Structure 1
């Protein structure tokens, strides 16, 4: 019984740390000392260590020798690769749902979209998390547990990428795109559903600065200065 309780506590610590990373409260590169995390959550360092190991296996945390655990900082190349994998996985999820959406699947997806609409313009971090959870829910509804596991990991790693590379984030258009994807799946229009998903994920990737040239003060001011010339 004690072992079960320990596992449940580890799950709770893992979930809280995961949510803090996905909502971009814990930023890439932040150090996560076991004693400090344990003190804040009221748990032992052992439980924290187990939670951090899980996060490390999912690519959200990295351990540095003699320095401890840190929120991961994906490289530009890793970011590109993760988005490529996400596109492959989620287009397959979309195809599967056209073929075999569970009876209650549309109700679950539409209820989630209503939750997304409820946070529009109010809480950016929660909107980002809910947007990712929509894609995870789609994968779970596919009935393929292995596929759902990988989609979950990739979607969560994308939140880190957006924290590092995104120029801006607007969940408003994303919610509308989610509704369009649901409608295409309901109509059993595979081509349209896949096309919408690819466009949707492309728009997410476009918000990340993947050309390898980070913004400088000069380049930012130049963008705004162009408005004066118009």
Structure 2
């Protein structure tokens, strides 16, 4: 994996801030304010924002500042419908190609989810819940499928930030564990059913039909940039910057 550039880190920090619900839907993203913490030009900021727009996380256009996307309820329902279909396919592929190492990888991630929940760190819990699904898609070893699942999971995190109920990830850990148990036992249809049911429950928790206000920008980006650089130094950077992993 290549070392992220400052522009990559700006993209990753913005993406992570949106997924962790630090930057709420509708938050303005002025180019000068974004570029400051990373020491990058407005041209590079625009490139990062274009990548986020392709991910469905940012809206740009005209002379106004880019903003964190604000999907409608109908758009949100469409996103979840497509996500359920793709995640069913992910589970089938992973089950067909199951390896004991898959179980170790997934259980290790679930332990991280449990630790974050017990610590009461809702921000990290939200991110880890999303990353479970991306990790499962990585195990399918299909870059195209991974790209689409990554985008849809990210957009669902944005939807949770806009409409979701507080503590909406509380049930996710047990639901994730049930899916892994079925995969480990080779029960394809049960695993598919559990995943479909789980994503349906996420949708129910997400679409609360009441918008939530989001926070501000500069200090948030600096914090996320520091976290990403620390993860990079430890070899545990949260999101892959390779084009194939982004489905581009």
C-alpha distance after superposition, 1:77-135 (max 9, x if no partner) = 11000000000000110111110024522111111111111101411111011000000
Residue 170 of structure 1 corresponds to 168
d(CA) in 2 for partners of 1:132 and 1:187?
A: 24
Aligned residue for 2:63, secondary structure, equals coil
Q: CA offset at residue 171 of structure 1?
A: 2.5
How many matched pairs? 209
C-alpha distance after superposition, 1:168-199 (max 9, x if no partner) = 33323211111110010011101110111111
C-alpha distance after superposition, 1:1-57 (max 9, x if no partner) = xxx98x722211111110000011111001101111111222222221111110011
Give yes or no for the alignment of 1:104 onto 2:101.
yes
Contact in 2 for aligned 1:101/1:142 (Cα 8 Å): no
Matches within 5 A, 1:7-156: 8-121=5-118, 122-156=120-154
Larger Rg: 1
Any stretches of 5+ residues in structure 2 without a counterpart? 212-248
Q: TM-score, normalised by structure 2?
A: 0.80
Structure with the larger RCO, 1 or 2 (CA within 8 Å, 6+ apart): 2
d(CA) in 1 for partners of 2:70 and 2:151?
A: 15
Detail structure 1 runs of 4+ shifted over 3 Å in the superposition. Answer: none
d(CA) in 2 for partners of 1:10 and 1:208?
A: 31
Contact in 2 for aligned 1:169/1:207 (Cα 8 Å): no
- Given candidates 198, 203, 206, the residue that maps to 2:204 is 206
Compare 197-206 and 41-50 and name the one that shifted more: 41-50
d(CA) in 2 for partners of 1:208 and 1:108?
A: 27
d(CA) in 2 for partners of 1:167 and 1:74?
A: 16
Superposition RMSD in Å: 1.7
More helix by share: 1
Q: TM-score, normalised by structure 1?
A: 0.86
